[in-house]
Amino acid sequence: MFNGWIKNKDGSVTMIFGFVNRNQEEIVDVPLGPDNHIEPAQFDGVQPTHFPVYSRGGFVGLQERGIFAVTVPAEMAETEVVWTLSHAGHSYSVPGRATSAAYEMSSDPAAMGSLNPAIRFDRNGEESTDREGIYAPLVNAKAGTPVTLTASAQDRGDRRGYDVETPFFPLGTEWIMHQGPVGATAVFDNPKVTGEDRGEADQQSATGSGDWTETTTNVTFSEPGDYVIRLRVDNFTAPDSQFDNQCCWSNAYVPVKVSN
């Protein structure tokens, strides 16, 4: 699915993609290559190869939104970015294009001051505040042996001047297998922790705390190969943020090489 596009200040365009696995039970794996590619080729390789089954209520339903994004330079802003998937005798292609206002999105503050959270793998290093995200240094692991993944997250929202009377819970986090060998699994000890799960003791003020907090998980890989783990950090407990409306979360990615 093409979820939408954002026009950046430098004239470039960020195109955001998601997917729907229409199966009720079958998890689909489609390796990078002829059956899973993006054109132009310079944007290829960041898309998922692992497609879990999702069943969410409401408008979102089976959708997994905003799993990756690509930024098209200003001189290519009118270029279509086409993602093609082929599986079980069927082929699907979706074009990303910055032509329809109905698909235009914004990185500006939401209705009550929420912004995409920030993610860093090094507290003093590179930072992600969008769907395109950043990549951590390569992690080495062994099949069947847990390895620890760690990142830091920050709520960037500023609710001063907005009518936000009730404090809300902190950021939520979710670790997701993004790429991996066909049939492989990545088992997390705490794959998803919502803001509510973190408890009232950790509530933020209505203006947002601005503090960096650490998120950690242990993950066990079923077999050797090259993997990419996606970390999504959200502030869905804020009154102006929810998955249905594409606000507000950021992605970051951890490449992992697993040996025997």
What is the pLDDT confidence band of residue 166, given thresholds at 50, 70 and 90? low
Angle (nearest 5°) at CA 119 between 116 and 171: 60
Token pair listed for 256: 């992992």
Q: Are residues 141 and 254 in the same domain?
A: yes
The mean pLDDT value of the chain amounts to 92
pLDDT by residue (tens digit) across 216-256?
Answer: 999 999 999 999 999 999 999 888 999 988 899 999 999 99
Say which residue the tokens 């944007």 belong to. 43
Within a domain: 198 = yes
* Whether 143 and 86 share a structural domain: no
**Is 13 part of a structural domain of the chain?**
yes
How confident is the model at residue 39, as a pLDDT? Answer: 98
User: Does residue 113 lie within any of the structural domains?
Assistant: no
pLDDT for position 90: 94
68 domain residue, yes or no:
yes
Residues 154 and 195 grouped into a single domain: yes
Question: Which parts of 6-140 fold into alpha helices (H)?
Answer: none
Residue 201 pLDDT class (50, 70, 90 cuts) = very low
12-51 confidence digits (pLDDT tens): 999 999 999 999 899 999 999 999 999 999 999 999 999 9
Supply the pLDDT for residue 167: 53
Q: Is residue 199's pLDDT more than 80? A: no
The count of domains in the chain is 2
CA distances from 50 to 36, 64, 144, 184 (A): 11, 12, 19, 9
Distance between first and last Cα of the chain: 36
* The predicted structure's pLDDT at residue 205: 41
Based on the domain organization, do 143 and 79 belong to the same domain? no
Predicted confidence (pLDDT) per residue in 171-196, tens digit:
999 999 999 999 999 999 999 998 88
> Are residues 22 and 82 located together in one domain of the fold?
yes
d(CA 31, CA 35): 7
Residue 166 burial (CB count, 10 A)? 7
Query: How much of the chain exceeds pLDDT 70, in percent?
Result: 93
Same domain, 131 and 254: yes
* Token couple for 74: 């200003």
Residue 23's φ and ψ, nearest 5 degrees, are -75, 155
The answer to whether residues 146 and 51 belong to one domain is no
What pLDDT does residue 81 have? 98
97 occurs within a structural domain: yes
Domain, as residue range, for 31: 2-103
